[in-house]
Amino acid sequence: MRLTILGCNSSTPRADGFTTSQVLELGSKIFLIDCGEGAQIQMKKVRIKFRSIDYILISHLHGDHYHGLIGFLTSSSHFGRTTPLTIFGPRGLKEIIQLQINITKLSLSYQLNFVELYKDESEVIFNQSNIKLSTIPLNHRIYTNGFLIEFTPSNRVIDAENPRRGLNFQSCEAEQLKAGRDLKFNTGKTIPNQALTKPGSYHSYAYCSDTAYKPHIISMIKGVDVLYHEATFLESERKKAEQTFHSTAREAALIAKRAGVKTLILGHYSARYKTKKDHLKEAKTVFQSTELAEDLRVFQF
């Protein structure tokens, strides 16, 4: 699981900071999650190929989360993408994109599909290739979803802890073992698969931006490996956070602690904070395993 932060600022782009967008690589799939203005510029900086994106998830229709989408889609066509692309996002997004495609006479080189989200309850919106994708309904000024992305590998992995690991399997034998088959020798001897392998690792990522403090999401994100949770404000601006339906760093940490996640990543910072050190400090008083999102930072889990 690899997460690349393209932008992690709130509201408006800055001379030295981009708005929300990130790329998650999980299993064999790559997700572009939100797409603030200039996301494609950031992708070029970290050399993520546009055609590598399999799915796009848009949390809500505030500009700092979707203004870069039409540019990314247009450029993907200029670069000759041919594989279909599916966007999961709120109702209305399809109309916005389709109108621009029509009026500007843009002829896309690939098939563009939309899955429009409108439900107030969590739903599984994708379940294939060992990836399960569910919405996390959030509490913001307009209709907003977070996303829970879970990877359950079908393949088993050869158990490095197993005392028989010194057997030096041929590659075809290793493939059979990963596929769950027993190891058979010419002598007729058989070693059961489970004696040599263990299940592949489950990985999970939860993305929660933007939202007011919403403890209801805790049951959904229980024990995830990584939680990205917005922390627009510090506790000192908690009133402002409440008014604008955003969270403080401490609230993000409370969610992480109560959900028992492994790692919390903070982001969606207000422009009023020149440094994010206080966000980290505030969150760590509640939940130690906290990291700060930074533009172009890459997390490998």
Note whether 263 binds a copy of itself by CB under 8 A: no
Q: Which is nearer to a copy of itself, 27 or 71 (CB)?
A: 71
Note whether 215 binds a copy of itself by CB under 8 A: no
Give the CA-trace dihedral at 278, 68, 217, 241, to 10 degrees: 40
Q: Considering the candidates 64, 210, 225, 295, report the single residue annotated as catalytic.
A: 64
Looking at residues 125 to 154 of the shown chain, list those that interact with a copy of itself (rule: CB under 8 A).
Answer: 142
CA distance 273 to 68: 24
**Do the beta carbons of residue 245 and residue 212 sit within 8 Å?**
yes
Q: Tell me the two tokens of residue 197.
A: 């392998």
Within 195-275, residue ranges assigned H as helices are 238-244, 249-259
Q: Cis bond leading into 120, ω under 30°? A: no
CA distance 40 to 42: 5
Note whether 296 binds a copy of itself by CB under 8 A: no
Tell the smallest beta-carbon distance from residue 195 to a copy of itself (Å): 50
Q: Which is nearer to a copy of itself, 71 or 200 (CB)?
A: 71
**Do the beta carbons of residue 29 and residue 54 sit within 8 Å?**
yes
Tell the smallest beta-carbon distance from residue 75 to a copy of itself (Å): 4
Q: What are phi and psi of 288, to 5 degrees?
A: -65, -40
Note whether 244 binds a copy of itself by CB under 8 A: no
Note whether 109 binds a copy of itself by CB under 8 A: no
Stretch that binds a copy of itself, among 22-30, 66-74, 221-229, 260-268 (CB under 8 A): 66-74
Note whether 160 binds a copy of itself by CB under 8 A: no
Cα distances (angstroms) measured from residue 268 to each of 2, 23, 34, 56: 19, 15, 12, 19
Note whether 298 binds a copy of itself by CB under 8 A: no
Among 2, 12, 116, 162, binds a copy of itself (CB under 8 A): 12
CA distance 227 to 129: 22
Active site residue 278: no
**Do the beta carbons of residue 94 and residue 117 sit within 8 Å?**
no
Letter for the amino acid at 229? Answer: H
Tell the smallest beta-carbon distance from residue 67 to a copy of itself (Å): 5
Q: How many residues does the chain have?
A: 301
Stretch that binds a copy of itself, among 57-65, 219-227, 234-242, 283-291 (CB under 8 A): 57-65
Note whether 81 binds a copy of itself by CB under 8 A: no
Q: Which is nearer to a copy of itself, 38 or 267 (CB)?
A: 38
CA distance 126 to 225: 20
Stretch that binds a copy of itself, among 94-102, 172-180, 239-247, 257-265 (CB under 8 A): 94-102
Q: Tell me the two tokens of residue 103.
A: 């009026």
SS3 157: strand
Stretch that binds a copy of itself, among 35-43, 180-188, 241-249, 257-265 (CB under 8 A): 35-43
**Among all residues, which ones are annotated catalytic?**
64
- Contact residues: a copy of itself, CB under 8 A: 11-15, 18, 37-38, 40-41, 44-45, 61-63, 67-68, 70-71, 74-75, 78-79, 92, 95-96, 99-100, 103-106, 142
